[in-house]
Amino acid sequence: MLKRLLLAGAAGALMTAAAQAQTPVKIGVLNDRSGVYADISGEGSVVAARMAVEDFKAAEKGLKVEIVSADHQNKPDVGASLARQWYDRDGVDVILDVPTSSVALAISQVTREKNKAFVNSGAGTADLTGAQCSPNTVHWTYDTVALANGTGGAMVKRGGNTWFFLTADYAFGQALQRDTTAVVTKNGGKVVGSVKTPFPTADFSSFLLQAQGSGAKVIGLANAGGDTINAIKQAAEFGITEGGQAIAGLLVFSSDVHSLTPKVAQGLVLTEPFYWDLNDATRAFSDRFAKTFNGKKPTAVQAGVYGGVIHYLKAVEALKSAKDGGQVIAKMKELPTDDPLFGKGTIRPDGRKIHDMYLFEVKKPGESKDPWDLYKTLATIPGNEAFRPMSEGGCPLVGKS
Amino acid sequence: MTMIFGVPMQALFGQLLLGLINGSFYAILSLGLAIIFGLLNIINFTHGAQYMMGAFVAWMLLNYAGIGYWWALLLAPLAVGLFGVIMERLLIARLYKLDHLYGLLLTFGLALIIQGLFRNEYGVSGLPYAIPSELSGGQRLPFMFLPNYRGWVVVASLVVCLATWLVIEKTKLGAYLRAATENPTLVQAFGVNVPLLLTLTYGFGVALAAFAGVLAAPVYSVNPNMGADIIIVVFAVVVIGGMGSILGSIITGFTLGLIEGLTKVFYPEASSTVIFVIMVLVLLVKPAGLFGRTA
């Protein structure tokens, strides 16, 4: 199913009458539009990209922006061939979003080969700015190390010093367990057991019972999407949290919690770089977003696409051309970032975007006033503590000093 | 504490009970498939989508009409069953004289279309559906905490399975049905309306899937792909039990739930494949399945 939608370009159309020379920019939003990650990225990311082009006032600044989108079906081969087609035939200058770590790593490689630009928002793997970093890639929103640092560190500090993992039995789950284990042990905690669950799993009750039997204070969910939702739903059913054990969701998005409802997910501790109700700017953006997108609030991944497009356009404006992707990415690293959703930040030489992360707790049903009123903020984790130090990532772009 | 293979006895009991609960879903779903295959000779690949529709109709009844769980348990199977009847009249009825493959392709295609439509409308994260207040909470058994709702699932599925089996094996209507499968022409000659019988049978099989969907709504994520994940396992259950064997599918459903439960304790990584391993072994030894008649 090769679904390509031709969108936007509205900003460019407005300015066709203007006589000034315009810099053409073609943005490709590549993500999951029908599978498990369609709600965290999907069409919402395209809406966010379109809003970024409007808010940047691209047309007034001499940029003629066009947005295209496609479904990579969470398959690296599908994603890579779409990317080649976009770069070679359709004149796409930059690819955004790309959830699913394996697809993201493939796109990063193709982008480097073609000297285009890649601004990732949806994928988790910290390898994008570690061993497999690239001069053509920026990793915007979050990564596995930041999630582990946030949730893992916080749970241990709150007294959760013994852990049991329910780990999705594939690369992503195992990486997340590995990174979190490192954080837990560094903070003086201990992992007492883990169970590898087949991916995907509908019924977690058996694994939850094993976790319950282990007596661990924290049950860490090293999984994502439907697996996480099922595990949390059934943990509530089996009275896990009432029994004094805490659940730590290592990768949870607001759309997951919205689907679970606060009644089921209450007390869950999680780490995210963005939540629609953080401040006036995020609220204003999210209200506009919801108006054009069926009343849904943006997820962190969709917010990351917005921030990424704004900063990318800023770099293109400075260079007056989008053709040399490596140059644009270098310019992005040089300019300080500043957008309404993530505030002021920087992009490191290894491609890692640095901003604060937040530790949230899901509200109790009594505290939540409407279906999207989900989190209260426990702590703000400053950007320089949240992400892995550049020296430990093993990125070949960064010379060892 | 007594240990069995390094696992405490009590934990083992808990896991067996959970296996039985999962077996309940397998049993109802495979029963519906077995009835449809036994009487209509149609391999109903839409079964998973119809199970998903049952859960969604329950959600819609609650959110659009304010109708709660208990009525949904009755109304959702009726609504989805009616959808099945229409499907049978319009499409499936045209395929009875053709090879199995055509029915398989038709129902598989329909399943993809139905799932796609629901995905477009409701997204993939799933919808919330709460456990009815009468069944919330649970019992603290000596070996585990059993949520009341899970207990109800086992009871409800046993009752429905046994009732279905009794109707087919012990009543006059059931006798007509079985006769119509053996020799439709002869039964029609006796004045029985065979096409109507087949339509109603399909509707009933579909209603069973929807019933399982409503049972599943409070415990699993209600999302458009929920049926696609479970249907493959259920097909394996039907193959192991023997295509078309009513009692076989019920017994196999519960038994495989138990075996899967044990695998989750001893070697969790294999718990999603153990049923297929058993399927291969059974097919090698008894190609018609454990309870199947050899053709």
Render pLDDT for A314-346 as a digit per residue (tens, 0 to 9): 999 999 999 999 999 999 999 999 999 999 999
Q: Does A213 touch chain B (CB under 8 A)?
A: yes
Please state, in angstroms and as integers, the Cα–Cα distance from residue B290 to each residue in A168, B249, B250, B293, following that order: 33, 9, 12, 9
- pLDDT of B248 > 80? The answer is yes
pLDDT at B260 over 80: yes
pLDDT average, residue stretch B267-275: 91
Any CB–CB contact under 8 A between B148 and chain A?
no
Strands A23-31 and A94-97, sheet pairing: parallel
pLDDT digits (tens, 9 = 90+) for A112-149: 999 999 999 999 989 999 999 999 999 999 999 999 99
- Given CB atoms, is A244 within the 8 Å cutoff of chain B? no
Residues from chain A that touch B15, judged by Cβ atoms under 8 A, are: 206, 209
User: At B109, is the pLDDT very low, low, confident or very high (cuts 50, 70, 90)?
Assistant: very high
Whether the per-residue pLDDT at A1 is higher than 50: the answer is: no
Q: For residue B131, list chain A residues with Cβ-Cβ distance below 8 A.
A: 237
d(CA A149, CA A151): 6
* B99 SS3 class: coil
Nearest CA in chain A to B266: A195
| Minimal C-alpha gap between A373 and chain B (Å) | 15
* Identity of the residue in B22, B119, B261 whose CB atom sits nearest the CB atom of A34: B119
Segment A179-186 shows an average pLDDT of 95
Give the whole-number percent of chain B exceeding pLDDT 90.
65
**pLDDT band at B294; cut points 50, 70, 90:** low
Q: What does the alpha-carbon distance between residue A232 and residue B176 come to, in Å, rounded to a whole number?
A: 47
Chain A nearest CA to B47, separation (Å): 17
Q: Read off the pLDDT band of A20 (50, 70, 90).
A: low
Q: What is the pLDDT of residues B8-25, one digit of tens each?
A: 777 788 888 899 999 999
**B268 close to A196: Cβ distance less than 8 angstroms:** yes
Nearest neighbour of A229 by CB, restricted to B130, B221, B271: B221
- Burial of B235: CB neighbours in 10 Å, binned 0-12, 13-18, 19+: buried
Quick check: B180 pLDDT over 90? no
CATH superfamily of A145-272+357-378: Response regulator (3.40.50.2300)
- Name the residue with higher pLDDT: B39 or B263: B263
Contacts of A7 (CB under 8 A, 6+ apart): A46, A50, A67, A68, A69
- Containing B147, the helix (H) or strand (E) segment is strand B145-147
3-state SS record for chain A:
CCCCEEECCHHHHHCCCCCCCCEEEEEEEEECCCCCCCCCCHHHHHHHHHHHHHHCCCCCCCEEEEEEEEECCCCHHHHHHHHHHHHHCCCCCEEEECCCHHHHHHHHHHHHHCCCEEEECCCCCHHHHCCCCCCCEEECCCCHHHHHHHHHHHHHHCCCCEEEEEEECCHHHHHHHHHHHHHHHHCCCEEEEEEEECCCCCCCHHHHHHHHHHCCCEEEEECCHHHHHHHHHHHHHCCCCCCCCEEEECCCCHHHHHHHCHHHHCCCEEEECCCCCCCHHHHHHHHHHHHHCCCCCCCHHHHHHHHHHHHHHHHHHHHCCCCCHHHHHHHHHHCCEEECCCEEEEECCCCEEECCEEEEEECCCCCCCCCCCCEEEEEEECHHHHCCCHHHHCCCCCCCC
Kindly report the number of other CB atoms within 10 A of residue A27's CB atom: 29
* Residues A356/A387, Cβ–Cβ less than 8 Å: no
CB contact under 8 A, B124 and A226: yes
pLDDT band at A10 (very low <50, low <70, confident <90, very high): very low
Count of residues in chain A: 401
Tell me: the pLDDT tens digits for A55-78? 999 999 999 999 999 999 989 999
Is the pLDDT reported for residue A14 higher than 60?
no
The 10 Å Cβ neighbour count of residue A101 is 23
B chain contacts of residue A237, beta-carbon cutoff 8 Å? 131, 138, 147, 149-150, 219
For residue A308, is pLDDT > 80?
yes
Report the alpha-carbon distance of residue A54 to residue A59 in Å, rounded: 8
For A348, residues 6+ apart whose C-beta sits below 8 A from its C-beta are A129, A333, A354, A390
Q: Are the Cβ atoms of B147 and A226 closer than 8 angstroms?
A: no
Which residue has better confidence, B293 or A160? A160
Q: In what order do the strands lie in the sheet with A337-339?
A: A337-339, A343-347, A353-354
Q: How confident is the model at residue A19 (pLDDT cuts 50, 70, 90)?
A: very low
CA distance B128 to chain A (A): 6
**The pLDDT value given to residue B184:** 83
pLDDT(B183) > 90: no
Average pLDDT over residues A185-203: 92
Q: How confident is the model at residue A16, as a pLDDT?
A: 46
Question: Does A241 contact chain B (CB < 8 Å)?
Answer: no
What average pLDDT score do residues A148-164 get?
93
Per-residue pLDDT tens over the stretch A376-396: 999 999 999 999 999 999 999
Specify the length of chain B in residues: 295
CATH fold, domain A5-142+279-347, is: Rossmann fold (3.40.50)
Q: What is the mean pLDDT of residues A35-39?
A: 87
Per residue in A359-370, pLDDT (tens digit) is 999 999 999 999
Q: What is the pLDDT of residues A270-297, one digit of tens each?
A: 999 999 999 999 999 999 999 999 999 9
Cα B6 vs. chain centroid, distance in angstroms?
Answer: 34
Residue A9 has pLDDT above 60, yes or no: no
DSSP state of B242: -
A401: pLDDT strictly greater than 80: no
- For residue B293, the 8-state DSSP code is P
* Domain B16-131+147-285 of CATH type 1.10.3470: yes
Residue pLDDT, tens place only, B48-100: 999 999 999 999 999 999 999 999 999 999 999 999 999 999 999 999 888 88
Note whether B138 contacts A238, CB cutoff 8 Å: yes
- Given this model, what pLDDT does residue A23 score? 93
User: What's the rounded mean pLDDT across residues A200-217?
Assistant: 91
Most B-contacting residue of A209, A240, A245, A253 (CB-CB within 10 A), to test interface: A209
What is the domain partition of chain A in residue ranges?
A: 5-142+279-347, 145-272+357-378
- So what's the pLDDT on residue B140? 86
Give dist(CA B21, CA A389) in Å, integer.
48
Is the minimum CB–CB distance between B21 and chain A shorter than 8 Å?
A: yes
Give the per-residue pLDDT at A3: 45
A145-272+357-378 has the same fold as A5-142+279-347: yes
CB of B19 within 8 Å of any CB in chain A?
yes
Task: Show the tokens assigned to A310.
Answer: 């704004």
Q: Pseudo-torsion of CA A298, A300, A302, A305, nearest 10°? A: 140
Residue B39 confidence (pLDDT): 82
The H-or-E segment that residue B2 falls in is none
Cα separation, A84 vs A97, whole angstroms: 16
Query: What pLDDT is recorded for position B142?
Result: 81
pLDDT in tens, B56-69: 999 999 999 999 99
Q: pLDDT band for position A299 (50/70/90)?
A: very high
* Integer Cα distance of B128 and A401 in angstroms: 53
Cβ contact, residue pair A202, B220, below 8 Å: yes
Residue type, A353: K
Query: Which residue carries 């890649």 as its tokens?
Result: A118
Whether pLDDT at A2 is above 60? no
Counted across chains A and B, CB pairs separated by less than 8 A come out at: 101
- pLDDT of A400: 54
Residue B5's pLDDT band, with cuts at 50, 70 and 90, is low
Q: What is the pLDDT of residue B15?
A: 87
Give pLDDT tens digits for B205-214. 999 999 999 9
